[in-house]
């Protein structure tokens, strides 16, 4: 899969879904903040559109220091929502949720 397989709107919507799901788990009244700065402070996830850890550039939502195994839990909890926007989410690690076309 290449980074161009998902639109930027699909990637952003997936990030929004994850942020809304993570927010209450991380003590936020609403969605968790997003962006690289929020992730650097372990306050919320960020979308890296070309993360290459899985061996090729892959849109990936990252958050180190979040709830334990959040990526695995989010993939299970949110898969119906991801499918509705044409995304398949696969946890690559406890801190990385890779995004692919559904």
- Tell me which residue of 62, 58, 59, 69 sits closest to 43, measured CA to CA: 62
Other CB atoms within 10 A of residue 72 CB: 15
What are the sequence ranges of the domains in the chain?
3-91
The percent of residues above 70 in pLDDT, for the chain, comes to: 95
Other CB atoms within 10 A of residue 60 CB: 26
HEC profile of 3-17: HHHCCHHHHHHHHHH
pTM of structure: 0.92
pLDDT one-digit tens code per residue, 18-62: 999 999 999 999 999 999 999 999 999 999 999 987 678 899 999
pLDDT one-digit tens code per residue, 13-27: 999 999 999 999 999
């Amino acid at each position: 899969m290449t980074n161009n397989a998902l639109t930027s709107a699909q990637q952003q919507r997936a990030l929004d879904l994850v942020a809304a799901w993570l927010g209450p788990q991380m003590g936020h009244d609403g969605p968790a903040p997003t962006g690289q700065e929020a992730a650097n402070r372990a306050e919320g996830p960020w979308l890296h559109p070309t993360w290459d850890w899985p061996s090729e550039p892959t849109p990936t939502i990252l958050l180190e220091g979040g709830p334990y195994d959040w990526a695995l839990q989010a993939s299970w909890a949110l898969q119906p929502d991801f499918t509705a926007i044409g995304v398949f989410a696969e946890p690559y690690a406890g801190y990385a949720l890779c995004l692919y076309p559904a």
